[in-house]
Amino acid sequence: MSVQPQDTIRAQFTHRCDGVDTFFPVEPALKKLRGKWKGAVVCRLLFGTWRFNELLRSLPGCTQKVLAAQLRELEMDGIVRRELFGEIPPRVEYSLTEIGRDLLPMIRALCDWNQKHILGTEPDFETVARAFHRTED
């Protein structure tokens, strides 16, 4: 497992925003989460550590290749941490970095907005959170 200092991760995160319209400050953030499965992966990881196959099974329609690519991009952007355990067979776990955990207020706001304006229900983030929460084995 490689652990990078927080300032190095932030520098990489900022650097990878090149080429994005920074006049409107939300664009770089949206670019980091662009991808069909990134938002769903981040939502799951907000509530704990997941192994690759657990994530894959929880995302019907997502292929192994696409999930691996999306996780790799999230890792390169400093949002997801990949931890490889030296076991036979190898075990890999994914979790959010501090930068990734900072997405919680935004995810919560999006969930509330979805419930109010798309589903027409009262916002209830706790119910949504329970759907993604896992108990550790």
Confidence (pTM) = 0.74
Check residue 129 and give its pLDDT.
73
Residue 131 pLDDT level (bands cut at 50, 70, 90): confident
Ramachandran assignment for 132, one of left (phi > 0), alpha (psi -120 to 50 degrees), beta (any other): alpha
By three-state DSSP, how is residue 4 classified?
coil
Tell me the sheet residues that pair with 93. 51, 83
Q: At what angle do helices 38-45 and 64-76 cross, to 10 degrees?
A: 70
- In tens, the pLDDT along 62-82 reads 999 999 999 999 999 999 999
Q: How far is CA 124 from CA 20, 63, 105, 118, in A?
A: 33, 30, 14, 13
Phi, psi for residue 36 in degrees, rounded to 5 = -55, -35
Please name each of the domains of the chain with its CATH number. Answer: 6-132 (1.10.10.10)
